[in-house]
Amino acid sequence: MSSLDSSPHAVEGTGAVPGGEVAKQIPPAAVARLTIYLRALNTLLAEGVERVSSESLAEASGVSSSTLRKDLSYVGSYGTRGVGYEVQYLSRHISAALGLTHDWKVAIVGAGNLGKALARYGGFETRGFDVVAIFDADQMVVGNEVGWLRVSDVADLEAVLERTGANMVVLALPAAVAQAICDRVVAAGVHSILSFAPVMLQVPAGVNLRKVDMATELQILAYHAQRAQTPDHTA
């Protein structure tokens, strides 16, 4: 767990510094939700909606309006009191705060069903993520087309990451090989990794690893379902 904050404290309420952009840290829980607001805003934009209130954006995002307003306050003051938010304007500012102003180049390791699903998932390009490579170890799969990409041999991982300029990697491969590939990815200089492999990966400090695990999600559902089944008399 890296606690790499050196800033004393996020002192809010300072007037907007003209011309100077001081990067203030946004609480992790707020960052996760900001991505959701962003999607809701883009949906509204596609529907031609121009203004939105905290109340209705909150409802569309599944949070309380006070949570939404607090989250937005970490980004800045981009609303109009008594009116609401301009959809496009707010969307732009959240994108900027999240670092989505330039495209990120994503490489996917593993061209099984999951890797292919990710490579073809249309939602990425429209959100600033560009899938630039997909790898597999199976020689029967190397060279196949996936979307508009050709599957590279994982043996060439370092070279292809270098050549394509990938700065994010998604691991969609079996647990058994995940750590080894992860180590190579880190050694190749990629510091942002999203893993779908059902294992705890060890990474050095400074590397950002996120993990998605379907079995975990189902187990959490199971816990709640089981509780709901117990004869729970309220009073």
Partner DNA sequence: CCATGTGAATCTATTCACAGCG
Partner DNA sequence: CGCTGTGAATAGATTCACATGG
Applying CB under 7 A, which residues contact DNA?
Answer: 1, 6, 8, 12-13, 27-30, 53-55, 63-67, 69-70, 72-73, 77-85
| Residue 93 binding: pick among a copy of itself, DNA, none (C-beta 5-8 Å cut-off by kind) | none
Give CA angle at 147 (143, 150), nearest 5°.
20
Q: CB-wise, 25 or 155, nearer to DNA?
A: 25
Q: C-beta of 192: minimal distance to DNA in Å?
A: 19
Q: CB-wise, 83 or 215, nearer to a copy of itself?
A: 215
Size of the site for a copy of itself (CB under 8 A): 92
Q: Residue length, the chain?
A: 235
Distance CA 120, CA 130 (A): 11
Q: CB-wise, 57 or 178, nearer to DNA?
A: 57
Residue 15 DSSP label = P
Of 85-114, which residues contact a copy of itself (CB under 8 A)?
97-100, 104, 106, 112-114
Two tokens, residue 138: 């199976």
Two tokens, residue 178: 């995940």
Q: Is 148 helix (H, G, I), strand (E, B) or coil?
A: coil
Region of 81-89, 149-157, 176-184, 224-232 interacting with a copy of itself (CB under 8 A): 224-232
List C-alpha distances in Å: 139 to 30, 54, 153, 154, 160: 43, 52, 7, 10, 17
Please report, as a single letter, which amino acid is at residue 233. Answer: H
| Residue 180 binding: pick among DNA, a copy of itself, none (C-beta 5-8 Å cut-off by kind) | none
The count of other CB atoms within 10 Å of the CB of residue 22 is 8
Residue 217 touching a copy of itself (CB under 8 A): yes
Distance CA 124, CA 170 (A): 13
Q: C-beta of 229: minimal distance to DNA in Å?
A: 22
Q: CB-wise, 65 or 192, nearer to DNA?
A: 65
| Residue 19 binding: pick among a copy of itself, DNA, none (C-beta 5-8 Å cut-off by kind) | none
Q: C-beta of 152: minimal distance to a copy of itself in Å?
A: 19
The count of other CB atoms within 10 Å of the CB of residue 153 is 16
Among 75, 79, 91, 116, binds a copy of itself (CB under 8 A): 116
Among the listed residues 114, 55, 115, the one whose alpha carbon sits nearest the alpha carbon of residue 85: 55
